[in-house]
């Protein structure tokens, strides 16, 4: 099935009515995340020792994001959690696992290879922030068949569509206890899917070492005339008038040469602007479609959202996201 990169809630409703979701190679995934957790970075040393790649244990921890999901979601959508799919490293709030580990988590969800994934979330920036991060993650691991639900769960509710509170599991066969009683679905594990990850890290992401790499007389990060160097944070964080939120006490700042194009400004009244409006907005703010693009923010969320939007408007523009939480921690010069 061919689906647009951005689908409206009406399209999702029709897919559900036609019984296409979780059939015919189409999955609907809820990427709800409790955003206050962004500022609560776990101790990275302890996490590496006790939880790194241990998805069974991670899924057994109390999860505010899962609680939000269980308070109401689009029917037939299981939950994916950023705090399981990613891990805290020394410099990153959301570091990327090697492909084989991310693959294990996605297979545990019951997703198969080649399926078209429709992602949505809720809350800030029209519900696009956390869903966009998962979209960029899937692209990073080689899965391009991805769509986002415009407006997310909030738009779904606004339009009066049905809401479920089930803990959806994919590929669950009915199981019975010793007394013949049916075991509740939420206590049964999904059968593993066949989804496979590949390594597209360098295509869609850029590391500190690459930014600092010397190219002739200049570092790559200093090629301001040859690259779109974009800071996707809200203007107050870029200008240093409000805290970044991660860590909570750090006031906003920015790297010289980066242009501020806030991802938040691509959403209007809870919905994403059209590709034409995004193109016009980007060009007015100095974006050049013939130049490679590097995007940063605080923890890689707003950057992924802007990256997905730019790719929708300029599909041939090469885009890399810088995923580190606070640039100054890695020694980049800031203002």
Per-domain residue ranges of the chain: 6-199, 203-330
Nearest to 301 by CA among 207, 234, 223, 228: 234
Has 297 been annotated as catalytic?
yes
The residues, ordered by sequence, that sit 6+ positions from 30 with a Cβ below 8 Å of its Cβ are 69, 73, 74, 77, 78, 79, 80, 120, 121, 153
Taking a C-beta distance cutoff of 8 angstroms, is the pair 259, 267 a contact? no
Give the count of beta carbons closer than 10 Å to the beta carbon of residue 288.
Answer: 15
Among candidates 48, 61, 49, which has minimal Cα distance to 95?
48
Catalytic residue among 31, 81, 246, 297: 297
Exposure letters 14-36 (e unless 16+ CB within 10 A, then b):
ebbeeebbbeeebbbbbbbbbbe
Strand residue runs (E) in the chain: 6-7, 26-30, 116-120, 146-149, 205-206, 214-215, 218-219, 228-231, 259-260, 267-268, 271-272, 293-296, 319-322
List of the chain residues with pLDDT < 50: 174-177, 182-185, 187-188, 326-329, 335
> Strands 214-215 and 205-206: what pairing?
unpaired
> What distance in Å separates the CA atoms of residue 204 and residue 200, rounded to the nearest whole number?
7
Q: What is the pLDDT of residue 245?
A: 65
| 279: Cβ contacts below 8 Å, ≥ 6 apart | 313, 314
Q: At what angle do helices 275-284 and 301-313 cross, to 10 degrees?
A: 110
Assess if CATH 3.40.50.300 describes domain 203-330: no
- Mean pLDDT score of the chain, rounded to an integer? 90
What pLDDT shows up at residue 166? 97
45-55 burial, b at 16+ Cβ within 10 Å, e below that, comes to eebeeebbeeb
Domains 6-199 and 203-330 fall in the same CATH topology = yes
Q: What share of the chain is helix, strand, coil (3-state, %, to 5)?
A: 35, 15, 50
240-245 long-range Cβ contacts below 8 angstroms, 24+ apart: 240/335, 244/298, 244/326, 245/38, 245/39, 245/298
Q: First vs last Cα of the chain: how many Å apart?
A: 48
What class is the 6-199 domain? alpha beta
Q: What is the pLDDT of residue 328?
A: 45
């Amino acid at each position: 099935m061919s689906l647009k990169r951005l689908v409206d809630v009406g399209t999702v409703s029709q897919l559900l009515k036609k019984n296409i979701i979780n059939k015919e190679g189409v999955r609907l995934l809820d990427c709800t995340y409790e955003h206050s957790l962004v500022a609560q970075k776990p101790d990275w040393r302890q996490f590496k020792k006790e939880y790194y790649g241990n998805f069974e244990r991670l899924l057994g921890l109390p999860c505010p994001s899962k609680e939000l999901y269980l308070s109401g979601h689009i029917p037939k959508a299981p939950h994916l959690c950023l705090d399981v799919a990613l891990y805290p490293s020394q410099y990153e709030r959301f570091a990327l696992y090697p492909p084989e580990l991310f693959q294990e988590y996605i297979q545990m969800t019951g997703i198969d290879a080649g399926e078209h994934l429709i992602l949505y979330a809720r809350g800030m920036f029209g519900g696009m922030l956390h869903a966009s991060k998962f979209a960029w993650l899937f692209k990073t691991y080689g899965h391009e068949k991805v769509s986002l639900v415009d407006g997310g769960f909030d738009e779904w509710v606004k339009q009066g569509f049905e809401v479920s509170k089930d803990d959806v599991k994919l590929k669950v066969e009915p199981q019975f206890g010793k007394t013949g009683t049916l075991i509740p679905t939420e206590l049964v594990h999904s059968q593993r899917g066949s989804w496979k990850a590949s390594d597209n890290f360098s295509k869609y992401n850029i590391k500190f070492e690459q930014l600092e790499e010397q190219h002739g007389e200049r570092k790559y990060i200093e090629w301001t005339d040859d690259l779109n160097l974009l800071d996707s944070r809200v203007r107050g964080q870029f200008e240093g008038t409000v805290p970044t939120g991660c860590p909570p006490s750090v006031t906003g700042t920015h790297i010289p040469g980066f242009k501020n194009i806030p991802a938040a400004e691509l959403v209007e009244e809870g919905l994403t602007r059209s590709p034409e409006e995004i193109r016009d907005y980007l060009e007015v703010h100095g974006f050049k479609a013939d130049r490679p693009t590097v995007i940063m923010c605080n923890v890689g969320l707003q950057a992924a959202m802007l990256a997905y939007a730019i790719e929708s408007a300029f599909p041939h523009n090469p885009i890399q996201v810088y995923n580190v939480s606070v640039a100054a921690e890695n020694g980049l010069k800031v203002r």
